[in-house]
Every structure is written in structure tokens, then in C-alpha cells.
């Protein structure tokens, strides 16, 4: 236990050093934010270290400890330059904002410790797609070039969103922490930094430090209503970790079905405790960082004249460009969402200045140039898209024939739907009392007709409700800037506008999934679409709705409207807290006698399969990062192709099914050929044929671990009789005997010159 927490402390301090490196720069970028950029220095430093190390490795430097430290040194010099220019300003800003930053740091540590404890109680990296995530992380830790080589397809670069794994590889390379520990430290890190950014955004919206805690709670610590169904259907605590994961937690993420086929309905709490290190998870803090940058930009745009914006805010704009650029290799699906939100922020701000301040479009042309930022961000992601081959060769966007049933939808977004309706009720009531009754009535009729038309056309209530909510929030955002009674207020409520834009985009994304889907290589049409689009919608709603509900509560003075509008919201909020409390409590009270409590993701393997573990350790210690190994081709979702996955050494082929998903069809022949060659090597009785395969792929080591999946079982007996055993010398121990278990765990070194 002490060893685990020592590693966690080293990891956390390393990330803190990233923040200290760019602290003056962060204070300049986030000068308009209520914590002065102090708390946001850590995620910003992590992002800048990764981005510039990534570009430096693409152009000149190796992607190793030296290159990362050199990048950090250059950023530190830039920060010292800024600090020396005006030290009094930085000192004054520190004195003003350190208390807010300290409160945020407490929130960060609490989330880090909470998720760290979850990982210690469920550390094993052997289920679902965790071996795949481990392969990506190990590959980035061992990579010395950009694009990084693919450990499951030797000779090819990774054709996947690898930015998140690169981010986690930075502290792993600097500290030397093993990948199986780095994996379980990366998960609490992503959650803690995302919670810190959410706290800063909440503090900026609510205007009070204590209220800022509501935002990370509403994002990470509430469940969906399907969790209540699971709880009450079992009426008992799980008795094993397997039952906790697959009998309880898993079912809350598979709620919406299309013609009997399940779709993926993950939400932040599920993703946080499930522990897959997928791109959508790793990008959480950086999507929120981009949103925080948009909020800082909105404060700037609405506080200074358009002609002063660019000269004053260029560090903020540069940070937006870099943040947007690195979203692309981290999670491609989040890039258009981030850019649309950014464009909405800029356009609404431009409209405000044009109609309520200068009333001349010419005065806003300077700020209008900000709309080129998405193109610049895309260009800055050049090292990624230059080598990325899209697996979707057909039209990506398709019109869908599937619709979401109301009961299924409410199990996922029930709380958000009720809260949104309560907010709309309160705002419409307020506008009705403000003297703009005719305009309010027109808005209600317009949205009502849209609701009725879509409902009548599709026959599904959700297909009408979600566009209605999206349209209503877009209209409210416009009304917030252009008052319905024609009397423009002197100042605009920036938190109101920002929260409305967040909710408007979220409901637009959810509504879009009812009519279109993204064509991919998965069987169920909307499975991945709902997953990739609904998940970031949780963050946008978690940012906007708590503040809007709070504002609506304060603006609604009468008891009856409060009772009518907010009792369902508060009730559902309390009920949504129950599943996370239940899941966490049941995990921590499990009393399985042989369950490992550790941060070591290979602890169970070392105990249950010691020869397998020792083989991984031997390959790490005595082979070069570029040595190609041959493993039995792995089946997706099985604990196979693990030597390459945990060491980062390139294998001829790993999970062939996943490689086919990640690459265009023109690469299918390469993947199938490699799989056939690997199977033929293990089963052939012709040494000349086996020798040809060794030369073809420049194989240095041959690993034999019998296949476990049904697909490969028929070949297992023939593989044990392979002719390669007669010609290759096994790796031996000090006594000259095979170092591992013959017939089960075998490792052979290919002689030089073969």
C-alpha cells in the first residue's frame, strides 16, 4: 500500500511540475477567470508539454525523456520571461486568487484519491478493451518517433486516436513508472484534472467558490436513472468483482436498443469507475479545458471593444488554437463539437457588439477573424492527419431509421430533460412578466409548432422533444442578448449566455442522433454514434444546467411555481446520486479472499500465471524496443497478444479484429496475410516455410502462449507440434533450462543472420 501511494505522489508531483513550468503563462491566458489561471496551470502545462514534444519529435527530437525535458525547459524560460516583465502584476494576481485556487486543489485531490482507491480495488488490466489500451500506452512509452509505431502491426504506425496515450506517456517516461502502474495512475489523473477544470468553470458561472463544487459533482458523481433499475432489480450487494462489473455496472451503460441491438450509453461516472483508457476518457480534461478557454474568450470579447480584442487576448487565442489542435489526435469525434461551440461563442459575441454596442459590422471585422481558428487548429494537427488513414471509406454521415423510445431515453437523460423543462418554464414566465408577452407568445408558438410537426412526422416523442429543447435554448441565448421588449440592458449576463449555449449545443447533439448516424464498421448502426455524441453532451449539460437551475430558482420568487418546477428536478437529482453511492460502497465492501488490492495492473497475473508475468518482465529487460516479436494472433476482447501489449514491442499481428476496425479496407489484406503467416509458422512442419516467415517480418523473438478463444482453439494442438521448436533455441535460465514453462509459456530467440 505504501508503495502504491508513493508512486501516486511521484506521479501527482510530476504533473504539478508541468503546471509550475507554465504558471505565469497560464495566469496570462486565464486572466479573466476567477482563479486567475493558477489551478488551470496543471492541465495547460500538461497540454503544452505534450503538444510541443509531439511536434518536436515529428520534426527533429526523439520522443524520450531528453526531448520532453528540453520542451519543458523552453516553456519554463518563456514563463520566466513573462514573469520578469511584470513581477508586481503576477504577485498581485497571486494574492487575489490563491484562496480560490487552494479550494480547487482540494477538489482535485479528493477526486484523485477517490478514483485512485477505485483503481486499487479493481486494478487488473485483462477485461473488455483494457489490453488494447495497455498496448497503446506501452507503445507510446516505448515510442521514439512520431507517428508512433503500432505494437500490434509491426512496421505500421498507429492508426488510431493516440493523443491521450501520448499524454499519459509523458509522466510515465519522466518518472520511469512501469506501464501497469502508469495505466492505473492515468485514470485518476484524467478525472481529477477534469474535475478541477469543471470547478473553475462552475466558480466562474456561479460567482461563488462553494457553488463551483456543484459542477464537477453534476458531471462525475451522478448516474443515470438506469442505475436505479439495476439497484432495485437485484435488491442486494454484489458478491464478487465480476458480478459488480458485469452484473451491475455494465447494465447501466447499455440502455438504448435499436431493433434489439444494444448501443453504448456511457456516462462520466461509469467511464470513471469502469477504467478503460479510451480516447473519449483521456480527452475529458482537454475538452473541458477548451470549454474553459471559450469562457475566458467570451469574458474578453464582451469586456473589450473588438479592435482591442486581438492585441489584448493573443495568448488566449494561441492557447485555443493549440488546445483545439490536440483534441484532434486525442479524440477525433470531439473536434467538431469543440469547434462548433467555439464558433457559437464567437458569433454570439459578435452579434452582441454589432447590435448593442457599435452597431457597425466594420468594427467587428477584427474579431471576426477569430472564426478562422478551426482551420488553424486543424493545420496544427498536421503530424496526426498526415499519416491517419480513415477507416470510413463510404459516406460518413447517414440518415437513420432508428428512433429512441421515450422510456429508454428518460433512463439516460431523465434528470437533464426535467431540469431543462424547469429552466424553460422559469425563463418564459420571467419574460412574460417583463412586458414582452407578445414576443414570448410568438416564441412559444414557434417552438410548439416545431415540436408538433416533428412528432407527427416521425411518430416518436423523443425525436420531437430533443429538437424542441435545442431550439428553445438557442432562442433563449439570443433573447439573452437581444431583449424581447426592445430595451437593451447596459450589460449582458455572460454566465447566462455561456450556460445557455452549452445546453443548446448539447441538446442539438442529442437531437441529431435521432435523425443521422455516423457510418462505421460496427454492426448496430447507432451504437458508436450515441456513444461518441451523447458522452460529451453529459459534460455540456453538467456545465450549463446546474447554473441555469440555480438562476431560475433565484428568479422564481413565488412558492407555487417553485414547487411545480423544481421539486421534480431536486427529486431526480437526489435519486441520480444513489447509484454512484451504491456502486462505490459495494466495491469497497467486497470481501473476496483472493482479490488483489493494488495499483499494479499485473498483480493478478503475477500471482495466477507467474510464468506469463516473468516472460513479460524478461522481454522488457533483455530486448530492444524495436525488436519484432511473433505471438499467436489474438482474438479481440481476450487476454491475448499480451507480451506486445505490456512491453510495447512490435508484434507481427495482435488483435486482428481491431486492426481491421482501425484501418481502411485496403489494409485488410495485410492484416489477414499476417494472421495467416503467424498461424502457419506455429503449425507448419516445413522449416523452410517457417524460416521464410521469420525473414519476411525480421522477427527477433518467438513467443508461444496457447490461444484461449474459441476461434483459435482448433489450432492449439497443432501449434504445440510446430517445427520451429527443433530449430530455435529457447531462452534459458542460469542453469541452462528453458526459462519458462514448456508447452504453455515458451520464448525463443531467433539467431542473428537467420
Q: What DSSP assignment string belongs to 5-41?
A: HHHHHHHHHHHHHHHHHTHHHHHHHTTTSTTTTSTTH
Contact 452, 503 (CB under 8 A): no
pLDDT in tens, 347-406: 888 777 766 655 555 556 666 678 889 999 999 999 999 988 888 766 677 777 788 888
Tell me whether strands 699-704 and 628-630 are parallel, antiparallel or unpaired. Answer: parallel
First-to-last alpha carbon distance for the chain, in angstroms, is: 47
DSSP label at residue 271: H
How far is 644 from 678, CA to CA, in rounded Å? 14
Mark the ranges of the chain whose per-residue pLDDT is less than 50.
Answer: 484-490
The pTM of the full predicted model, rounded to 2 decimals, is: 0.93
DSSP label at residue 746: E
Contact 677, 693 (CB under 8 A): yes
Q: What does the pLDDT read at residue 487?
A: 45
Spell 74-110 as b/e; 16+ CB within 10 A means b.
ebbeebeebbeeeeeebeebeeebeebbebbbebbee
> Could you tell me the three cell numbers for 705?
502462449
| Domain layout of the chain by residue ranges | 404-556, 609-749
Q: What does the pLDDT read at residue 439?
A: 57
* Residues near 108 by beta carbon (within 8 Å), at least 6 away in sequence: 39, 42, 192, 193, 195, 196, 199
How far is 41 from 278, CA to CA, in rounded Å? 24
Q: What does the pLDDT read at residue 271?
A: 94
Is the torsion defined by CA of 344, 346, 348, 354 positive or negative?
negative
| CA torsion, ordered 247, 248, 252, 258, to nearest 10 deg | 20
Q: What does the pLDDT read at residue 468?
A: 86
| CA torsion, ordered 483, 207, 94, 23, to nearest 10 deg | -70
How far is 195 from 191, CA to CA, in rounded Å? 6
Amino acid at each position: 500500500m505504501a508503495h502504491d501511494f508513493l508512486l501516486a505522489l511521484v506521479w501527482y508531483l510530476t504533473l504539478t511540475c508541468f503546471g509550475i513550468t507554465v504558471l505565469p503563462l497560464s495566469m496570462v491566458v486565464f486572466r479573466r477567470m476567477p482563479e486567475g489561471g493558477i489551478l488551470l496551470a496543471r492541465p495547460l502545462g500538461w497540454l503544452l508539454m505534450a503538444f510541443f514534444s509531439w511536434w518536436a519529435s515529428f520534426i527533429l527530437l526523439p520522443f524520450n525523456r531528453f526531448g520532453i525535458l528540453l520542451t519543458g525547459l523552453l516553456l519554463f524560460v518563456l514563463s520566466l520571461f513573462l514573469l520578469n516583465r511584470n513581477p508586481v502584476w503576477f504577485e498581485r494576481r497571486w494574492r487575489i486568487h490563491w484562496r480560490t485556487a487552494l479550494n480547487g486543489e482540494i477538489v482535485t485531490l479528493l477526486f484523485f484519491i477517490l478514483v485512485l482507491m477505485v483503481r486499487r480495488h479493481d486494478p487488473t488490466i485483462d477485461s473488455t478493451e483494457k489490453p488494447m489500451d495497455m498496448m497503446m500506452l506501452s507503445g507510446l512509452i516505448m515510442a521514439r518517433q512520431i507517428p508512433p509505431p503500432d505494437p500490434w502491426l509491426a512496421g505500421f504506425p498507429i492508426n488510431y486516436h493516440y493523443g491521450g496515450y501520448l499524454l499519459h506517456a509523458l509522466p510515465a517516461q519522466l518518472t520511469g513508472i512501469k506501464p501497469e502502474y502508469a495505466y492505473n495512475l492515468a485514470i485518476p489523473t484524467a478525472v481529477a484534472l477534469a474535475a478541477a477544470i469543471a470547478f473553475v468553470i462552475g466558480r466562474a458561472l456561479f460567482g461563488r467558490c462553494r457553488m463551483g463544487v456543484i459542477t464537477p459533482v453534476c458531471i462525475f458523481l451522478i448516474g443515470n436513472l438506469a442505475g436505479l433499475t439495476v439497484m432495485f432489480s437485484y435488491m442486494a450487494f454484489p458478491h464478487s468483482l465480476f458480478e459488480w462489473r458485469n452484473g451491475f455496472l455494465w447494465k447501466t451503460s447499455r440502455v438504448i436498443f435499436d431493433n434489439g441491438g444494444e448501443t453504448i450509453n456511457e456516462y462520466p461516472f461509469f467511464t470513471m469507475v469502469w477504467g478503460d483508457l479510451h480516447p473519449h476518457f483521456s480527452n475529458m480534461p482537454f475538452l473541458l479545458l477548451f470549454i474553459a478557454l471559450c469562457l475566458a474568450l467570451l469574458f474578453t470579447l464582451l469586456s473589450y471593444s473588438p479592435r482591442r480584442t486581438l492585441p489584448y487576448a493573443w495568448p488566449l487565442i494561441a492557447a485555443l488554437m493549440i488546445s483545439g489542435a490536440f483534441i484532434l489526435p486525442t479524440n477525433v469525434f470531439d473536434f467538431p463539437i469543440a469547434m462548433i461551440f467555439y464558433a457559437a461563442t464567437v458569433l454570439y459575441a459578435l452579434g452582441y457588439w454589432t447590435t448593442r454596442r457599435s452597431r457597425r459590422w466594420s468594427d467587428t471585422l477584427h474579431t471576426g477573424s477569430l472564426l478562422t481558428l478551426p482551420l488553424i487548429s486543424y493545420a496544427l494537427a498536421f503530424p496526426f492527419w498526415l499519416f491517419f488513414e480513415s477507416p470510413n471509406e463510404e459516406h460518413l454521415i447517414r440518415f437513420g431509421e432508428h428512433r429512441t423510445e421515450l422510456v429508454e431515453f428518460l433512463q439516460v437523460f431523465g434528470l437533464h430533460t426535467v431540469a431543462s423543462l424547469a429552466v424553460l418554464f422559469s425563463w418564459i414566465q420571467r419574460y412574460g412578466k417583463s412586458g414582452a408577452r407578445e414576443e414570448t407568445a410568438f416564441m412559444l408558438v414557434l417552438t410548439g409548432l416545431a415540436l408538433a410537426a416533428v412528432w407527427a412526422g416521425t411518430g416518436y416523442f423523443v425525436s420531437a422533444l430533443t429538437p424542441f429543447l435545442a431550439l428553445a435554448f438557442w432562442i433563449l441565448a439570443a433573447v439573452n442578448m437581444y431583449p424581447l421588449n426592445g430595451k437593451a440592458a447596459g450589460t449582458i449576463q455572460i454566465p447566462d449566455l455561456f450556460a445557455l449555449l452549452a445546453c443548446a449545443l448539447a441538446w442539438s447533439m442529442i437531437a441529431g442522433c435521432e435523425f443521422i448516424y455516423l457510418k462505421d464498421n460496427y454492426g448496430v448502426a447507432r451504437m458508436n454514434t450515441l456513444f461518441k455524441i451523447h458522452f460529451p453532451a453529459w459534460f455540456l449539460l453538467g456545465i450549463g444546467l446546474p447554473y441555469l437551475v440555480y438562476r431560475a430558482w433565484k428568479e422564481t420568487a413565488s412558492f407555487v411555481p417553485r414547487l411545480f418546477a423544481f421539486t421534480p428536478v431536486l427529486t431526480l437529482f437526489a435519486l441520480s446520486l444513489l447509484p454512484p453511492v451504491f456502486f462505490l460502497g459495494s466495491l469497497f465492501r467486497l470481501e473476496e479472499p483472493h482479490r488483489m488490492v493494488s495499483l499494479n495492473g499485473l498483480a493478478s497475473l503475477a500471482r495466477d500465471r507467474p510464468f506469463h508475468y516473468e516472460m513479460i518482465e524478461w522481454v522488457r529487460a533483455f530486448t530492444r524496443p524495436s525488436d519484432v516479436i511473433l505471438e499467436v494472433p489474438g482474438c479481440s476482447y481476450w487476454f491475448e497478444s499480451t507480451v506486445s501489449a505490456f512491453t510495447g514491442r512490435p508484434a507481427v499481428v495482435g488483435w486482428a479484429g481491431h486492426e481491421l476496425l482501425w484501418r481502411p479496407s485496403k489494409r485488410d489484406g495485410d492484416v489477414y496475410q499476417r494472421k495467416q503467416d503467424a498461424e502457419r509458422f506455429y503449425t507448419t512442419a516445413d522449416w523452410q516455410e517457417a524460416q521464410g516467415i521469420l525473414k519476411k517480418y525480421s522477427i527477433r523473438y518467438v513467443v508461444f502462449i496457447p490461444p484461449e478463444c474459441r476461434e483459435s482453439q482448433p489450432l492449439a494442438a497443432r501449434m504445440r507440434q510446430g517445427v520451429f521448436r527443433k530449430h530455435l533455441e529457447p531462452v534459458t535460465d542460469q542453469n541452462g533450462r528453458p526459462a519458462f514453462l514448456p508447452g504453455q509459456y515458451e520464448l525463443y530467440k531467433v539467431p542473428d543472420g537467420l
